[in-house]
Amino acid sequence: MYVVKSSLADADLKVVSEALQGALMDLVDLALTGKQIHWNIVGPRFRSIHLQLDEVVASARTHSDTVAERASALGVPPDGRAATVASGSGIKTAPAGWIKDTDAVSAMVDALGSVITRMRERVTATETPDPVSQDLLIAITADLEKHHWMFQAENA
Amino acid sequence: MYVVKSSLADADLKVVSEALQGALMDLVDLALTGKQIHWNIVGPRFRSIHLQLDEVVASARTHSDTVAERASALGVPPDGRAATVASGSGIKTAPAGWIKDTDAVSAMVDALGSVITRMRERVTATETPDPVSQDLLIAITADLEKHHWMFQAENA
Amino acid sequence: MYVVKSSLADADLKVVSEALQGALMDLVDLALTGKQIHWNIVGPRFRSIHLQLDEVVASARTHSDTVAERASALGVPPDGRAATVASGSGIKTAPAGWIKDTDAVSAMVDALGSVITRMRERVTATETPDPVSQDLLIAITADLEKHHWMFQAENA
Amino acid sequence: MYVVKSSLADADLKVVSEALQGALMDLVDLALTGKQIHWNIVGPRFRSIHLQLDEVVASARTHSDTVAERASALGVPPDGRAATVASGSGIKTAPAGWIKDTDAVSAMVDALGSVITRMRERVTATETPDPVSQDLLIAITADLEKHHWMFQAENA
Amino acid sequence: MYVVKSSLADADLKVVSEALQGALMDLVDLALTGKQIHWNIVGPRFRSIHLQLDEVVASARTHSDTVAERASALGVPPDGRAATVASGSGIKTAPAGWIKDTDAVSAMVDALGSVITRMRERVTATETPDPVSQDLLIAITADLEKHHWMFQAENA
Amino acid sequence: MYVVKSSLADADLKVVSEALQGALMDLVDLALTGKQIHWNIVGPRFRSIHLQLDEVVASARTHSDTVAERASALGVPPDGRAATVASGSGIKTAPAGWIKDTDAVSAMVDALGSVITRMRERVTATETPDPVSQDLLIAITADLEKHHWMFQAENA
Amino acid sequence: MYVVKSSLADADLKVVSEALQGALMDLVDLALTGKQIHWNIVGPRFRSIHLQLDEVVASARTHSDTVAERASALGVPPDGRAATVASGSGIKTAPAGWIKDTDAVSAMVDALGSVITRMRERVTATETPDPVSQDLLIAITADLEKHHWMFQAENA
Amino acid sequence: MYVVKSSLADADLKVVSEALQGALMDLVDLALTGKQIHWNIVGPRFRSIHLQLDEVVASARTHSDTVAERASALGVPPDGRAATVASGSGIKTAPAGWIKDTDAVSAMVDALGSVITRMRERVTATETPDPVSQDLLIAITADLEKHHWMFQAENA
Amino acid sequence: MYVVKSSLADADLKVVSEALQGALMDLVDLALTGKQIHWNIVGPRFRSIHLQLDEVVASARTHSDTVAERASALGVPPDGRAATVASGSGIKTAPAGWIKDTDAVSAMVDALGSVITRMRERVTATETPDPVSQDLLIAITADLEKHHWMFQAENA
Amino acid sequence: MYVVKSSLADADLKVVSEALQGALMDLVDLALTGKQIHWNIVGPRFRSIHLQLDEVVASARTHSDTVAERASALGVPPDGRAATVASGSGIKTAPAGWIKDTDAVSAMVDALGSVITRMRERVTATETPDPVSQDLLIAITADLEKHHWMFQAENA
Amino acid sequence: MYVVKSSLADADLKVVSEALQGALMDLVDLALTGKQIHWNIVGPRFRSIHLQLDEVVASARTHSDTVAERASALGVPPDGRAATVASGSGIKTAPAGWIKDTDAVSAMVDALGSVITRMRERVTATETPDPVSQDLLIAITADLEKHHWMFQAENA
Amino acid sequence: MYVVKSSLADADLKVVSEALQGALMDLVDLALTGKQIHWNIVGPRFRSIHLQLDEVVASARTHSDTVAERASALGVPPDGRAATVASGSGIKTAPAGWIKDTDAVSAMVDALGSVITRMRERVTATETPDPVSQDLLIAITADLEKHHWMFQAENA
């Protein structure tokens, strides 16, 4: 069927599209995880973390849109469906049920930490094949590392 | 652990929480499905439907927040995690890859139609046990039926 | 030609679509009547009532959009054309020419009163066949009764 | 009863007030027609034309307010009631029921075309008796001709 | 003196007006109580709860306006004077002086809990005599139950 | 000293600059008169007319800026100093001290009426020498005639 | 328990805290009184005074927040509970039930007048012990005297 | 006729009302002078000073409203009519015709300087009779001295 | 191919479309020239003129859109392509490279002056064939003459 | 004459300034081309593409400002004059006259495609001599590739 | 060199300028200290205090601008350079490195407390020589005492 | 005490944290220097440069926040205290007292020039150890070079 003519050579495109699809699954799952904890958190820091989580969700949603549309722009259809995300995300599944605020913060430190590790690998992988995609991934990494710091500082 | 004291009796709560959890899974999946098609749609109506889908996504995200927080307010922890949504949603999984605009509209007519059918059952089920939850579900149904009409009209 | 698949059974749909079409004619006429008096009012309360009438017009226009699109969403084409409104509205035609502020207020008390009476009948009629449409009609009635009070208070 | 002292001589006023009352009936009907088609349109361009129609409606409502209040400012009570509009408008009544997008565009091309023809006659008629009213009618004509072009371009 | 003509029969009106007057006293007192604690709270969660309380106050003020104007719209003069509220509210008087954040949260859980219990009785009581008033009370209850959850979650 | 090169021939410029300077003095005085009455009005329509007067003042200030800068643009220095306005304005000086609301409205009807008469003469005078300046004066006249109607309607 | 270290000596603090607590009770009651009349006013000036009252209420709410938080900032817990306000306010209780617009204006003239008298005493009393608190009370007095004038002018 | 009951004793009122009326004439004239120069300035700093003058005008208009309404609030009718301003203002009349930017700045330094001198006298005069009026005059002086500095710095 | 049915007779249309196409080329070039100087200006008035130029560019872009869409609305395709503008514009080409602020202002005085001369001819030419197009050209001329004055005043 | 001291060595500056000047010509032409088609497009997708083109124009205008001011910041005067753009742009000249929507989309796919190819070469060329300029070009390329995808998807 | 003509006598000016320069150094340092802690805070109240600190910083920046420009307006050049602030501020230097939330709150209580003590001395010192400067210092003190209370309440 | 787990290896972290701390000191000092000159500038370009300086200050404040929080995100506590900035900044201390506009511009050209030189070294130094930090430094450099150009152009 339809093919967007890509700016990249095939080998480059393969590397870049894997990076983008991986980022997409991580970021959609980060948004779902953030909302899950936003709804289930309890404890004396409820309101503060509840609000902080919505800022992560907003970031993750914006970033997932960026990487998905970047894939489309390179001629590769992105996949952000629930089952794809459930199986392909690198984030550990959040626990079911109420979650204490301290545990909520730890869960976010872990989730962000694991996404960041993979994001940095994607930054390295895309440098040569597509500096344009790399630039988007760098900006997303910077933002995630800022969120990561804030949750670490919160649990210090 | 922690228990929010519910305004409802146990039997009523069981009915209502099932309705809310069901609605939550449908609505999160509706948002994911809407985004998936938003990214993958091709064809002469690309821009128009691409924008229309983001309006559905915005609605679905707002509504999912409403029902999840309603469950929490009744003392029942909501579950909107990716795997839960993937297995529990009533929406047929969207196809992978590029999707023609006509097919995109049909997919949305189907997705909205199946969610609406279940929403109307939830409206009926919650009337007696909790008119407050029912009122939220009625408002969501009205909005979904408006989106449903617009996609049907589009494909007429 | 084109048929939107309705969520309602035929008998229910008949009742609901009559209620919505009746509400549409009343509300479009309420907006036209409000504007007519807005332009023709004279007297020491000119500015105050002139502004108040534009608030009624804004309400009536929004509500007419709501009921017309609700009819479409149920698969029934709404009819808000001038001749249909002129013959089908339940509001007494406003007098031609300049109208004293006191008479303007009385005319609005009457117009709102007669629409409200019919709206309450529609609320009752739609309860069983379609609680979703009923909910919209209830909200419209609440708003019209608020406007009704304000004009009654004004002429006390 | 009350008489606003007009800036114009009687003969001039007669010409100008007929032009304004004619414009008022056309413009109110244009708004009603635009909304009627906005609610009833179906077809692959549904969303695009549905939105475009609301821009015409907004224009027509603003312009009808302008000409009605201009009549009042000249001491002549305007008449924008439903029956007056139904009998006095120069626009062909829109068809009842669902309307295909192509037909919808054609109907708007016709409606705008017929209003514009009469508006241009009013521009000519008012030039000598009242350049102030003429200036308002010129600005309205410019806006209607812009909408007219857009619907013609759409159906090309 | 002046009488607004009510849409309701006398017996129905009696039930509804009692519900609305009761709701008014509770909601005005909820706003005063929220402000009292907003000013007097101390402890490590000072800022977070201080801000949360202003959200409750804003909600309570809006809702008190809604029920008071609803009473007026039904022809029954509302009473929200300080002495009436002091004697008629169902909320336990807040303690004088500084209040620890933990106690502040508990006080709000209690205050909201007691208002909600009465609100649910009013929802039941008004269903038959006036579904329009009931609909307003349902929406207020939904909002209060959301605030209630948040304070409960905070103290878990 | 400095001379802006005018687009107009000398004879034309003389006519146009007189019209603009006359309009400037009238409009500055209209703003001062409007504020004077805004501050001194008393009576049961105090608030309504007090607010209405500020709308006239805002209009008059904007229009005075327009005509003054139009004069500058034609190379003629405008003069809007207090003494020039006091001696050159065509508006009857407002009375000193408190002014009853009825008298306030009459004073504004007179003030606007006398400015409008002169504005219409300026519209006629400038038509041939400078249609650009005329167009600005026409728009100002339309706005002043709208304010004039509203005060006349108020005192009917 | 907790003590905020005050910037003031004990004797000064006693004077200032009495002034602030007195102002708080008056201002909370002014807001409640303004709302009571806002809901119950009837008569030809209904809309105008209804809106004017909400401006007083907004002022009074803002000012009560200012004085309460000023007390807290000086280490003195403020008391704005319903019973405290009901017994400690210097405003005469508003009448129950509907109130004619003329009576409404008079009631506000009286209420504002009595608050202003006490506010001026507080301005005098706080000058030496705390010019910072005095400055806040001066600004509040200026605003209340502006509202006072407007209601007096209205009933002239 | 109508008398607003003043908060001040007669002797105090005399002093304060003279200060306010003097301030009013100065401030209205400052606005007129600022606009006059705004329209007539020429030279390489045209745009920068042209914009700066509009900031002075905006300040002067706001301040003139403040002092005029303060006079009304004290029961003394303010007088801001053109002839009163022309004869009573302490500002030296601006020159007619084009004005070089350097001269424009000097004219503003002089105008602001002379108003400030009188404002400081009014601040001293009103301290005992009415600290509320004094506080308004102090705030106006602070703002005028800021504008004064900027024009002095500009011409350094 | 496609033909928009014009409101004008052929001979009239020829005159009007030439006026509009000429205006379009001038206005697009005015925007390009303004940006060119905006980027290349140097000297002590850099910032002030740099900002002023962006206001001209914004005006010119808006006006070019107006005349181009006016041509389309009359059924004549407009031509605003780079080569057309380069050859058809009446503006003298701006110099390459850095430009001193004094020269920049002179260049804008010249550019605006030459466009205005042609605009006034177009105003005259279109008066009889199409007063609607003339009205748009008059408004554009007024705006350009205002910019022209400001640059002349700047270089005085 | 004037020389901005560049941060770059001469050889580096030569490479970077050619990249920036090339980008400037392409981007100005992209904006002119986008507007040309925005005005001349006809066909059933008129409104949708007409709006989409204005988004490209807005992007292109912003990007052209970025690259031109980047050149200035490096001490190299940019050249965005009409004739320079007409001869130096890499975009194929858009056809004159009306253009069918399908052809409009193809023309934009081509225009964007050719600009992107050159932009990618500029990204490569500037990497070593000036990573700061490269970063701006990367961000522009990402945005252009997003627009490119949308037009390709539209014509699929 | 340049001298702004001060409104104050020399002796008065000396007192006032010392007060303003002292306030400037304290307030700039308060902003730097607030940011330092904003970046380095860790612990369970991280997010809440992190945000609260930015409100102090915003206040301190605004206030430092006020006092610096007040000094300039009196003809005394203010000094807010880093070394001046480092040596002249009355705030104890914040500790280097991470800071626990409890310590962060204590540090702010101390910093605000010491600034307030000096501000109150400046309020006293400036009363006679310059009530205009005093009024600005009073308002700043009120705001700082509000922040001071909030940090004290937080650590209770 | 507390340690944020850094994404970087120790050697890389050392390089990056030195770059960020250096940038922080420069940027805080740039903001303080910009404000110092903003307050002390005199001369005919006072207003224009006064405003331009506030744009630099706003940029520098935003950038200092970015680099400080980036350091925190990497686990390194940033130091932006007054004494640290006074000793560690690379900007030459601004002169005390009034500063002529020409000197002000030169001082900013120097200050920006020296910061940019060091920023470019930091861009080079961070490329390998942390492309994420480098990307932030590149964007800051681009912005500073834009400000640098504008001050250079101003003094040409």
pLDDT tens digits, one per residue of K11-59: 999 999 999 999 999 999 999 999 999 999 999 999 999 999 999 999 9
Q: Is J8 helix (H, G, I), strand (E, B) or coil?
A: coil
For residue H41, the one-letter residue type is: I
Residue K5: pLDDT band (50, 70, 90) is: confident
pLDDT tens digits, one per residue of I88-113: 999 999 999 999 999 999 999 999 99
Residue D2: pLDDT band (50, 70, 90) is: low
Q: Check residue J100 and report its DSSP letter.
A: E
List the beta strands (DSSP E) in chain K: 41-42, 99-100
Q: Which residues of chain L does A141 touch, with a Cβ-Cβ cutoff of 8 Å?
A: 132
What integer pLDDT is reported at residue E156 of this predicted model? Answer: 82
Q: Report CB contact under 8 Å: A113, L5.
A: yes
Residue A6: pLDDT band (50, 70, 90) is: confident
What integer pLDDT is reported at residue J154 of this predicted model? Answer: 94
Residues of D with CB under 8 A from a CB of I: 113, 116-117, 120, 123, 127, 135, 138-139, 141-142, 145-146, 148-149, 152-153, 156
User: Across the strands, what pairs with J99?
Assistant: J41
Q: Is it the case that residue F1 has pLDDT exceeding 60?
A: no
Q: Report CB contact under 8 Å: F4, I152.
A: yes
Residues of F with CB under 8 A from a CB of C: 45, 48-49, 51-52, 102, 150, 153-156
What integer pLDDT is reported at residue I6 of this predicted model? Answer: 78
Q: Report CB contact under 8 Å: I145, F4.
A: no
pLDDT tens digits, one per residue of A86-106: 999 999 999 999 999 999 999
What integer pLDDT is reported at residue L26 of this predicted model? Answer: 98
The minimal CB distance from C46 to the residues F51, F102, F153 is found for F153
Residue A7: pLDDT band (50, 70, 90) is: confident
Residue E3: pLDDT band (50, 70, 90) is: low
Decide: J15 and J77 in contact? Cβ < 8 Å: no
CA-based nearest residue to D115, from D85, D77, D83, D81: D85
Instruction: Report the alpha-carbon angle J139-J143-J145, nearest 5.
Output: 115
CA-based nearest residue to L152, from L89, L107, L122, L91: L107
Residues of C with CB under 8 A from a CB of F: 41-48, 50, 98, 100
Chains in touch with G (3+ beta-carbon pairs under 8 Å) read: C, E, F, H, K
- The mean pLDDT of A34-43, rounded to a whole number, is 97
pLDDT tens digits, one per residue of H116-142: 999 999 999 999 999 999 999 999 999
Chains I and F touch (3+ CB pairs under 8 A): yes
Sign of the torsion angle spanned by Cα atoms G18, G22, G23, G28: positive
What integer pLDDT is reported at residue I61 of this predicted model? Answer: 98
Q: How far is CA F118 from CA E30, F143, L87, in A?
A: 61, 14, 71
Q: Check residue G80 and report its DSSP letter.
A: -
Chains in touch with F (3+ beta-carbon pairs under 8 Å) read: C, D, G, H, I
Q: Is it the case that residue B5 has pLDDT exceeding 90?
A: no
Burial class (CB in 10 A: 0-12, 13-18, 19+), K102: middle
Q: How far is CA K77 from CA K32, K65, L98, in A?
A: 21, 13, 6
Helix (H) or strand (E) holding I33: helix I10-40
pLDDT tens digits, one per residue of G55-74: 999 999 999 999 999 999 99
Q: Give CA–CA dist J144/J55, Å, rounded.
A: 11
Q: Give CA–CA dist I37/I96, Å, rounded.
A: 9
Q: What is the ipTM of this complex?
A: 0.96
Task: Determine what percent of chain A falls in helix, strand and coil, rounding each to the nearest 5.
Answer: 75, 5, 25
Q: Give CA–CA dist C61/C69, Å, rounded.
A: 12
Helices F46-73 and C46-73 pack at an angle, to 10 degrees, of 90
Q: Which residues of chain G does K108 touch, with a Cβ-Cβ cutoff of 8 Å?
A: none
- The mean pLDDT of C102-112, rounded to a whole number, is 97
Q: Give CA–CA dist F129/F15, Å, rounded.
A: 7
The set of residues, in sequence order, having a beta carbon less than 8 Å from that of C111 and lying 6+ positions away, is: C30, C33, C91, C92, C94
Residue L156: pLDDT band (50, 70, 90) is: confident
Q: How far is B80 from chain A (nearest CA, A)?
A: 6
pLDDT tens digits, one per residue of L59-117: 999 999 999 999 999 999 999 999 999 999 999 999 999 999 999 999 999 999 999 99
Chains in touch with A (3+ beta-carbon pairs under 8 Å) read: B, E, J, K, L
For residue I39, the one-letter residue type is: W
Q: Is it the case that residue B1 has pLDDT exceeding 70?
A: no
Q: Give CA–CA dist I32/I53, Å, rounded.
A: 11
Residue L2: pLDDT band (50, 70, 90) is: low
pLDDT tens digits, one per residue of L102-133: 999 999 999 999 999 999 999 999 999 999 99
- Pull the structure tokens for residue B14: 């069981």
- Pull the structure tokens for residue L99: 């500063």
Q: Which residues of chain J does B44 touch, with a Cβ-Cβ cutoff of 8 Å?
A: 45, 102, 154-155
- The mean pLDDT of J62-77, rounded to a whole number, is 97
The set of residues, in sequence order, having a beta carbon less than 8 Å from that of J124 and lying 6+ positions away, is: none
What integer pLDDT is reported at residue A4 of this predicted model? Answer: 72
Q: Report CB contact under 8 Å: B40, A78.
A: yes
Q: Give CA–CA dist H41/H104, Å, rounded.
A: 7
Q: Which residue has the tokens 């006016």?
A: I70
Burial class (CB in 10 A: 0-12, 13-18, 19+), D76: buried
What integer pLDDT is reported at residue I155 of this predicted model? Answer: 86
Residue environment code for F79-114, b if the CB has 16+ CB neighbours within 10 A, otherwise e: bbbbbbbbebbbbebbeeebbbbbbbbbbbbbbbbb
What integer pLDDT is reported at residue E27 of this predicted model? Answer: 98
DSSP string, E18-83: HHHHHHHHHHHHHHHHHHHHHHHEESTTHHHHHHHHHHHHHHHHHHHHHHHHHHHHTT------HH
Q: Report CB contact under 8 Å: I41, L153.
A: yes
More reliable by pLDDT, J2 or G80: G80
Helix (H) or strand (E) holding L41: strand L41-42
- The mean pLDDT of E41-62, rounded to a whole number, is 98
L80 φ/ψ angles, rounded to the nearest 5 degrees: -120, 30
What integer pLDDT is reported at residue F2 of this predicted model? Answer: 55
For residue L14, the one-letter residue type is: K
**Backbone conformation region of residue F63, classed left if phi is above 0, alpha if psi is from -120 to 50, else beta:** alpha
What integer pLDDT is reported at residue D120 of this predicted model? Answer: 97
The set of residues, in sequence order, having a beta carbon less than 8 Å from that of K59 and lying 6+ positions away, is: K143, K144, K147
- Pull the structure tokens for residue D64: 């009808």
Max distance between CA atoms of chain E, in angstroms, equals: 55
Rg (CA), chain K: 16
Q: Is it the case that residue E98 has pLDDT exceeding 60?
A: yes
More reliable by pLDDT, K18 or L3: K18
pLDDT tens digits, one per residue of B25-75: 999 999 999 999 999 999 999 999 999 999 999 999 999 999 999 999 999
Residue K155: pLDDT band (50, 70, 90) is: confident
What integer pLDDT is reported at residue C3 of this predicted model? Answer: 64
What integer pLDDT is reported at residue G20 of this predicted model? Answer: 98
- Other CB atoms within 10 A of residue F6 CB: 18
Regarding pTM above 0.95, the answer is yes
Q: How far is CA F12 from CA F17, F125, J149, in A?
A: 9, 10, 58
What integer pLDDT is reported at residue B3 of this predicted model? Answer: 64
Residue I2: pLDDT band (50, 70, 90) is: low
Q: Give CA–CA dist D15/D13, Å, rounded.
A: 5
pLDDT tens digits, one per residue of B128-146: 999 999 999 999 999 999 9
Determine how β-strand I41-42 pairs with β-strand I99-100.
parallel
The minimal CB distance from B69 to the residues E127, E146, E156 is found for E146
Q: Which residues of chain K does L89 touch, with a Cβ-Cβ cutoff of 8 Å?
A: 82
H99 φ/ψ angles, rounded to the nearest 5 degrees: -135, 130
The set of residues, in sequence order, having a beta carbon less than 8 Å from that of D93 and lying 6+ positions away, is: C81, C82, C83
Q: Give CA–CA dist A55/A61, Å, rounded.
A: 10
Question: pLDDT above 90 covers what percent of chain D?
Answer: 94
- Pull the structure tokens for residue A115: 């996404």
What integer pLDDT is reported at residue C155 of this predicted model? Answer: 86
Instruction: Report the alpha-carbon angle B130-B68-A34, nearest 5.
Output: 170
- Pull the structure tokens for residue A142: 């910077």
Q: Is it the case that residue A2 has pLDDT exceeding 60?
A: no
Q: Is J69 helix (H, G, I), strand (E, B) or coil?
A: helix
pLDDT tens digits, one per residue of H3-13: 677 779 999 99
Q: Report CB contact under 8 Å: L150, I46.
A: yes
Q: Give CA–CA dist L133/L140, Å, rounded.
A: 11
Q: Which residues of chain D does I70 touch, with a Cβ-Cβ cutoff of 8 Å?
A: 142, 146
Q: Check residue A156 and report its DSSP letter.
A: -
CA-based nearest residue to D122, from D34, D56, D57, D26: D26
- The mean pLDDT of B95-119, rounded to a whole number, is 97
Q: Report CB contact under 8 Å: E86, G82.
A: yes
Decide: B143 and C136 in contact? Cβ < 8 Å: no
- Pull the structure tokens for residue H106: 């000097």
Residue I143: pLDDT band (50, 70, 90) is: very high
The minimal CB distance from K98 to the residues L2, L33, L35 is found for L2
Q: How far is J146 from chain A (nearest CA, A)?
A: 5
What integer pLDDT is reported at residue E94 of this predicted model? Answer: 96
Q: Check residue E93 and report its DSSP letter.
A: P
Chains in touch with E (3+ beta-carbon pairs under 8 Å) read: A, B, C, G, K
Decide: K36 and K94 in contact? Cβ < 8 Å: yes
- The mean pLDDT of C16-25, rounded to a whole number, is 98
Residue H88: pLDDT band (50, 70, 90) is: very high
- The mean pLDDT of D26-53, rounded to a whole number, is 98
Q: How far is J39 from chain I (nearest CA, A)?
A: 6
Q: Which residues of chain D does B106 touch, with a Cβ-Cβ cutoff of 8 Å?
A: none
- C3-12, H92-101, J70-79, K146-155, range with the lowest pLDDT: C3-12
What integer pLDDT is reported at residue B50 of this predicted model? Answer: 98
